[in-house]
Chains A and B, each alone.
Chain A
Amino acid sequence: MNNQPKLASGYKIWIGLTILGIVINIGLLTMFGKDWKTVSQQQKQIQELTVRINTQQELNNQQQTLNNKFLILDNFFVKGESGVAAVAQKLEQTADNLGLLLSLTFEDFPDKVDINGVYQQGLGIAAIVEGSYQAVSSWIQQIEKLPYFISFTEVEISPLRLSSGIKAEFSGTIFLKNEQ
């Protein structure tokens, strides 16, 4: 019988093994922690890359389907001096076709126009049109259908002094393409 408590001889080895085990555990946990962090970062990176690839794919598809329409729309914004000259010519041509007398005045330089918080380059324009009421009305109707963003915000109408008809002075903005 041996019911008195007694230390077994192997306990010292066990203490050593336990301490060694704890040290290895700490080491492994440290390395494991680093790997865990790396894997987490990699997973995050993969997620981001996947999102970017999907976005790219989506944009690519959109570009393919919408680019033509976009280009058409984009061309509504008049490009530079040559564009403004083309617009002026179109306005004059339209007035001429309708038998109207047109006098155009442009601002010297374009400026930013605030369109409800969106800024767009715009050139101030004043067009004095003289002729019959119907012709003036047709002219403005045709101008509105031109493939340009022209917005007339003011019109002053007065009768012609020497002949019948009206003199209408339109003021507004030709929207230009923003410079990159």
Chain B
Amino acid sequence: MPKKSALGLLIDDVHLEALELKPSKGKFSITNYVWSRLPPGTVKAGKVINSKILASELKKLLQAGRTKSFKGPVVLGLPQSQVFLKVFTIPKFEEKELNEAINWHVDSLKPVLPQNAHTSYEVIEKKPNYDVKVLLAAVPQEVIDGYAQTAELADLKIDIIEPLALSKARLINPQRLLNKSIISVHLYQNQLSVSVLINTKLWFSKEIFIPSGEENNIRSAVSELIKFFTEKKNKDIVNASEIIYSGDNHGLDRLKTSLVGFKLPVVQAQAGVMLIKSQAVSDVQSTSFTPVLGLAVRGNLHQKGLINLLPEWPKAKAEILKLIVNLSKAIVVAGIIAWLNIMVLEVLWWQFSNKKQNLSEQIAKLEVQLNEQKEKELLTWGKQFNQTTKTAQLIEKSKIDYTQVFARLSASLPLTVKLTSFKYQPFVGKWSIIGIADKREDVLVLDKALKESQFFSDARLYFSSLESNQGVVFRFSGGKL
């Protein structure tokens, strides 16, 4: 059960009633209940004649009821005088086809419906392998539009419009109605409703205004209804088993005295809506059968497929307006964000301007500190230094110690061998020796001595050096020293 309050709104020819109902732990609490008299001629026979006056009265009533903060669904009741109710039966169909079939059937009923009628239907019985029973409600479009326009003028968003007869039926304890055909008699503020309820569902309803002193008319109306039902009901519908009556205190007194002499047992109805005591109403018992209560209860029902005669245009208009309001709210939020952002940007900009100024001053100081001419000179010096140092290192590295070379060579040379040339390529890392020896053997002795020395270990003798055995000109070469 939803926690939101719902508002029932009843408008008849002489007065307005509004009741705000709040669900609470499986029961209901009436949080507001207000009513007022309407100026004569504002509504006639359930049809709005002067929507401006009605809207004004509606506003006054709701303001008096202090329901300005009300956000829940609003349910408007339509007097039975303007509603055409009919129960019809169609064969069983699949769900999608069922709707088509019902719509087709409703179309076929157009000749008997009020002209330009706005319709709504409710499947009241759907048993497996049985025909489907449908309750159709039809109201002239102009009547619905009259109420919708009034609501718009009163800045009131109506969510549901339903026939008052349905809301009255909702007030009776359904346990008493199960699997029975019941004649319901309801007298509220001299407005008599006589209805047939079959297995809790409304089958037929009629309203008659019965002023005090015309109690005979009550009895006649009930007798006529019983006769009508007996004649018109289908064979599968059980006969009426009892008459149950309900209404306001005055109505109950009148009904007790009027409903006598019927074959059917006459029983006072039990309330179907469990009410908690509240400050809004003094007598919870009598309020239990106030029709506007049934309307408020409807606002708390989330059952799908119930009758709702509210046309599409107020809904669409309300959606558009809601969209505009949301858009406007978004614009307001965007505006606030934009201006807040401006403030943030202003602060940041101010900080950045200061920072820019500080940095400019810092740059100026650094530029003074940096002597460009001196920097240029130093860089040139640094470059020269690096180049000179590197070159010097390379030259030093390429040099060989001739004293050592000569000493080593002298140590390796046999007496019969003479050197004529020593060549060193420092940057390639190669050396070569040319000399003259008396015999080949002397050259070979030198070859061995060089290879055994660590200094000339990679010495290679040119084989051409071994061509002759006398006055041998030999050549050696090798790698880095």
Chain A residues engaging chain B, CB cutoff 8 angstroms? 1-8, 11, 14-15, 17-18, 21-22, 24-25, 28-29, 31-32, 35-36, 38-39, 42-43, 45-46, 49-50, 52-53, 55-56, 59-60, 62-63, 66-67, 70, 73-74, 76-77, 114-116, 118, 120, 137, 140-141, 144, 149, 151-159, 175
Known A46-B359, A137-B406; judge A1-B70 contact (CB<8 A).
Answer: yes
Known A28-B346, A29-B345; judge A7-B367 contact (CB<8 A).
Answer: no
Q: Is the interface of B mostly helix, strand, loop or mixed?
A: helix
Known A3-B70, A115-B395, A153-B423; judge A14-B328 contact (CB<8 A).
Answer: yes
Which chain A residues border B423 with CB–CB below 8 Å? Answer: 153-155
**Which residue of chain A is the closest to B314 with respect to CB atoms?**
A4
Known A49-B366, A63-B378, A155-B423; judge A175-B395 contact (CB<8 A).
Answer: yes
Which chain A residues border B25 with CB–CB below 8 Å? Answer: none
Which chain A residues border B384 with CB–CB below 8 Å? Answer: 70, 74
A157 touches B419 (CB 8 A): yes
B367 touches A14 (CB 8 A): no
In the bound complex, what is the Cα–Cα distance between A24 and B427 (angstroms)?
Answer: 73
Chain B residues engaging chain A, CB cutoff 8 angstroms? 62-63, 65, 67-71, 74, 151-152, 155-157, 318, 321-322, 324-325, 328, 331-332, 334-335, 338-339, 341-342, 345-346, 348-349, 352-353, 355-356, 359-360, 362-363, 366-367, 369-371, 374-375, 378-379, 381-382, 384-385, 387-392, 394-395, 398-399, 401-403, 406, 418-427
In the bound complex, what is the Cα–Cα distance between A59 and B387 (angstroms)?
Answer: 15
**A118 in complex: contacting residue of B318, B355, B385, B394, CB < 8 Å:** B394
Which chain A residues border B370 with CB–CB below 8 Å? Answer: 49, 52-53, 56
5 A-B pairs in the complex with CB atoms less than 8 angstroms apart: A3-B71, A14-B335, A22-B334, A115-B394, A155-B423
**B157 in complex: contacting residue of A4, A43, A74, CB < 8 Å:** A4
Which chain B residues border A151 with CB–CB below 8 Å? Answer: 395, 398-399, 426
Which chain A residues border B65 with CB–CB below 8 Å? Answer: 1
In the bound complex, what is the Cα–Cα distance between A81 and B277 (angstroms)?
Answer: 128
Which chain B residues border A66 with CB–CB below 8 Å? Answer: 385
B375 touches A56 (CB 8 A): yes
Which chain A residues border B348 with CB–CB below 8 Å? Answer: 32
**Which residue of chain A is the closest to B70 with respect to CB atoms?**
A1
**A39 in complex: contacting residue of B352, B379, B406, B427, CB < 8 Å:** B352
Known A32-B345, A49-B366, A118-B394; judge A1-B62 contact (CB<8 A).
Answer: yes
Known A35-B356, A118-B387, A137-B406; judge A156-B421 contact (CB<8 A).
Answer: yes
The 3 closest A-B pairs by CB, nearest first: A21-B338, A18-B335, A5-B321
B356 touches A158 (CB 8 A): no
A120 touches B391 (CB 8 A): yes
In the bound complex, what is the Cα–Cα distance between A14 and B342 (angstroms)?
Answer: 16
Total A-B contacts with CB atoms under 8 angstroms apart = 194
Known A3-B157, A151-B426; judge A39-B356 contact (CB<8 A).
Answer: yes
Which chain B residues border A77 with CB–CB below 8 Å? Answer: 388
9 more A-B residue pairs beyond the given contacts A32-B349, A70-B389, with a C-beta to C-beta distance below 8 A: A4-B155, A5-B325, A18-B332, A18-B334, A21-B335, A22-B338, A53-B369, A118-B387, A157-B419
Known A4-B152, A118-B394, A144-B402; judge A74-B388 contact (CB<8 A).
Answer: yes
**A141 in complex: contacting residue of B353, B375, B382, B402, CB < 8 Å:** B402
**A4 in complex: contacting residue of B318, B341, B352, CB < 8 Å:** B318
B367 touches A49 (CB 8 A): yes
A152 touches B402 (CB 8 A): yes
The distance from the CB of A58 to the nearest CB of chain B, in whole angstroms, is 9
A70 touches B421 (CB 8 A): no
In the bound complex, what is the Cα–Cα distance between A5 and B151 (angstroms)?
Answer: 12
Which chain B residues border A158 with CB–CB below 8 Å? Answer: 420
**A50 in complex: contacting residue of B352, B366, B382, B403, CB < 8 Å:** B366
**A1 in complex: contacting residue of B63, B401, B406, CB < 8 Å:** B63
Which chain B residues border A6 with CB–CB below 8 Å? Answer: 155, 321, 325
The distance from the CB of A19 to the nearest CB of chain B, in whole angstroms, is 9
Which chain B residues border A155 with CB–CB below 8 Å? Answer: 402, 421-423
A118 touches B390 (CB 8 A): yes
The distance from the CB of A129 to the nearest CB of chain B, in whole angstroms, is 11
In the bound complex, what is the Cα–Cα distance between A156 and B324 (angstroms)?
Answer: 109
**Which residue of chain A is the closest to B18 with respect to CB atoms?**
A1
**Which residue of chain A is the closest to B156 with respect to CB atoms?**
A4
In the bound complex, what is the Cα–Cα distance between A34 and B67 (angstroms)?
Answer: 56
Which chain A residues border B325 with CB–CB below 8 Å? Answer: 5-7
In the bound complex, what is the Cα–Cα distance between A89 and B65 (angstroms)?
Answer: 128
Which chain A residues border B378 with CB–CB below 8 Å? Answer: 56, 59-60, 63
In the bound complex, what is the Cα–Cα distance between A35 and B423 (angstroms)?
Answer: 70
**A36 in complex: contacting residue of B156, B335, B341, B352, CB < 8 Å:** B352
Known A22-B338, A116-B394; judge A28-B345 contact (CB<8 A).
Answer: yes
Known A4-B155, A18-B338, A73-B388; judge A157-B420 contact (CB<8 A).
Answer: yes
A35 touches B352 (CB 8 A): yes
In the bound complex, what is the Cα–Cα distance between A35 and B346 (angstroms)?
Answer: 12
B381 touches A63 (CB 8 A): yes
A52 touches B359 (CB 8 A): no
In the bound complex, what is the Cα–Cα distance between A137 and B405 (angstroms)?
Answer: 10
Which chain A residues border B374 with CB–CB below 8 Å? Answer: 56, 60
A153 touches B349 (CB 8 A): no
Which chain A residues border B367 with CB–CB below 8 Å? Answer: 49
**Which residue of chain A is the closest to B398 with respect to CB atoms?**
A151
**Which residue of chain B is the closest to A70 with respect to CB atoms?**
B385
Known A14-B335, A46-B363, A115-B394; judge A154-B422 contact (CB<8 A).
Answer: yes
The distance from the CB of B46 to the nearest CB of chain A, in whole angstroms, is 23
In the bound complex, what is the Cα–Cα distance between A31 and B74 (angstroms)?
Answer: 54
